[in-house]
Structure 1
């Protein structure tokens, strides 16, 4: 039977519950346990798919096509366990399913209420698909005291009784602020947060306390006394120089040992932390540095490109170099026209995915700069589409080349796809249909051309990558684009959908329709990112 670890947060948001959950999972994995992590999101959206990145950060897509919270990216990057649809639930999805059941008459005339109907749905989500698991870690989004999170807190209170206290552990993450005027760390917010959680029926077994300086033993003892936990169960969580240092840091503070003690597990093997020690060795003993210019639309919020940022770091780890990222606003490029002053200092140019017309001309200009100057170029999703439009306009003689995503165009190099072969057969989408959940989502296979650059990078002819997009490059223009030097080197198995383009006459020029950043991990960097950073290293030696 799987044991459950419930993680809640208090005092303020953005304390790093997702990172803590991922780090704890990694530590339990290092001891030989099988672990999965789930995220409970209290917001009323069915999923984050229609939310602006400025509202919620990136949308993380799973192999089975779920649009999920970005914390699931942390889970995968730290554990290597592929996330799936059943690992993320929202209040919106719960209420949608309950209302559908009520309309069908499934409740047989009963009054539908938060307790038991909403809490039962939450518990059913937590208890699903537990085969072959030792631990399930459940992260509750939001902060204790939020109105929208109350049903989730009540559900995990009930689960602790249903499953037995010996099979559940509660971890509460809080903030201990330092008040400069007083010259003290203040424990009162943590005391109040634990009191609020206890008033809802949950006594935490461990406290993870975010601090910006060492937590004195006297304060640790004070927190333990007021919050009714063992002193050893008050775990200080100092800011780390790298998120990949967090598992080792938490292990030194005794987090995994204290969790096992709370479960009464005495005979767990010691952890094998060599994976994380190697990552930190690479970060601390770098042999160079490269600068990558990311020309995007949401550069004002780094979380909008969280997986992309981490994948670039992973590419640096593979090459033992530090990757500096210059976030460049594509909209400013569109307004100014002259991109050279901003792009000349970089060793590689990456145009990421995005939606909408804003900044598109700046992205196209960046592609042109990379092509003409021989700078390594990586286009992802919309970035690949902009590379195709740039090639069509400047090398294939199609001056009116555009995309129907931005409105009617006489030369639709990129257009809305309304039918495609999915994993379950033919899938259809209406041009004026709902936006949520209607994209080509999740893992799809691609076949790579023999002797292509990407086939050499992957060391394979068949790959599977994750997608999230509505528009596709139009294969009707393939012949003209290839005459301009842009080769279609990866296609869907039926040959209808372009997946990868490249320029053989360029040092490193690759565009992909999928999102390879979603599958990159610090201990297993994605081959495209490792190769891209390797090309940037070569470029840095030419400058």
Structure 2
């Protein structure tokens, strides 16, 4: 989900917004989808990519088709986003199985994109249920956490409270820094829900480092998911692949 008014990523400057990626149905999207397809071993389609521009276009077309005599209001846009998310969630990911969990990446945090309240309002439909878990992922931070603190404050101004923070850094952070972040963000526990992700030399180190901080069990507990018995084996296989 991207608050931009573009219909897709086709005309975005890669020098500013990063590389582009083409989905199997021709949709031009963020390179993030390439990472998701590679790591999750799934194929994504244009309906998996929501921009504010795409939602606006959809609402206008629906208005023209179904209720042209009515005004288009912000509530129409919010309802469209909610319906879009529900539709994606209930689509089989391999032609037959409905997913147990849906990952929603809400872009923003820079260039005032975070100020788009429509996406937050739509997500609030799911947020107040027991099966919603919000992970706030910071951009790279150095020795100071000013940007992270500001982004958390921006979220709290939108009446959003993170359940977990993944803090991306150049180097590992210490327990005192974890405690500082947790206290400011008003997390449930002092440090457990502050996950540190320092820079790595190989992308497959990412899940290994995250799991070393117990992220899988923490999320599974909060979302009442069944814990996979072979997860440690998967991590071991990743370590072997890196060595090879």
Normalising by structure 2, we get a TM-score of 0.84
The structure with more strand, counted as a fraction of residues: 1
Contact 1:208 1:236 in 2 (8 A): yes
Cα distance 1:74–1:267, how it changes in 2: closer, same or farther (>3 A)?
closer
Counterparts of 2:194 and 2:217, CA distance in 1: 12
Aligned equivalent of 1:154, options 109, 112, 121: 121
Q: What does residue 59 of structure 1 align with?
A: 20
Q: CA deviation at 1:174?
A: 1.9
Contact 2:220 2:227 in 1 (8 A): no
Q: What does residue 195 of structure 1 align with?
A: 153
Counterparts of 1:223 and 1:235, CA distance in 2: 10
Aligned equivalent of 1:127, options 55, 79, 86: 86
Aligned equivalent of 2:211, options 251, 254, 262: 251
Aligned equivalent of 1:205, options 148, 163, 173: 163
Q: What does residue 95 of structure 2 align with?
A: none
Q: CA deviation at 1:172?
A: 0.4
Which consecutive residues of structure 2, in runs of 5 or more, have no partner in the other structure?
A: 93-97
Counterparts of 2:71 and 2:157, CA distance in 1: 27
Q: What does residue 277 of structure 1 align with?
A: 239
Q: CA deviation at 1:150?
A: 2.8
Q: CA deviation at 1:219?
A: 1.6
Aligned runs of 1:156-305 on 2, under 5 Å? Answer: 156-161=123-128, 164=129, 166-175=130-139, 177-178=141-142, 185-229=143-187, 230=189, 231-265=191-225, 267-271=227-231, 272-282=234-244
Q: CA deviation at 1:52?
A: 4.5
Contact 1:48 1:56 in 2 (8 A): no
Question: Is residue 2:100 matched to residue 1:139?
Answer: no
Which consecutive residues of structure 1, in runs of 5 or more, have no partner in the other structure?
A: 1-39, 179-184, 283-543
Deviations along 1:331-378, one digit per CA (max 9) or x if unpaired, are: xxxxxxxxxxxxxxxxxxxxxxxxxxxxxxxxxxxxxxxxxxxxxxxx
CA RMSD of aligned residues (A): 2.3
Q: CA deviation at 1:78?
A: 0.8
Cα distance 1:149–1:190, how it changes in 2: closer, same or farther (>3 A)?
same
Detail structure 1 runs of 4+ shifted over 6 Å in the superposition: none
Aligned runs of 1:285-434 on 2, under 5 Å? Answer: none
Q: What does residue 46 of structure 2 align with?
A: 85
Counterparts of 1:78 and 1:84, CA distance in 2: 16
Q: What does residue 98 of structure 1 align with?
A: 59
Counterparts of 2:137 and 2:14, CA distance in 1: 25
Give the SS at the match of 1:137.
coil
Counterparts of 2:50 and 2:81, CA distance in 1: 8
Q: Which has the higher contact order (CA 8 A, sep 6+)?
A: 1
Q: CA deviation at 1:240?
A: 0.7
Counterparts of 1:173 and 1:151, CA distance in 2: 20
Count of residues in correspondence between the two structures: 232
Q: What does residue 530 of structure 1 align with?
A: none
Normalising by structure 1, we get a TM-score of 0.40
Counterparts of 1:200 and 1:60, CA distance in 2: 31
Contact 1:43 1:148 in 2 (8 A): no
Question: Is residue 2:32 matched to residue 1:71?
Answer: yes
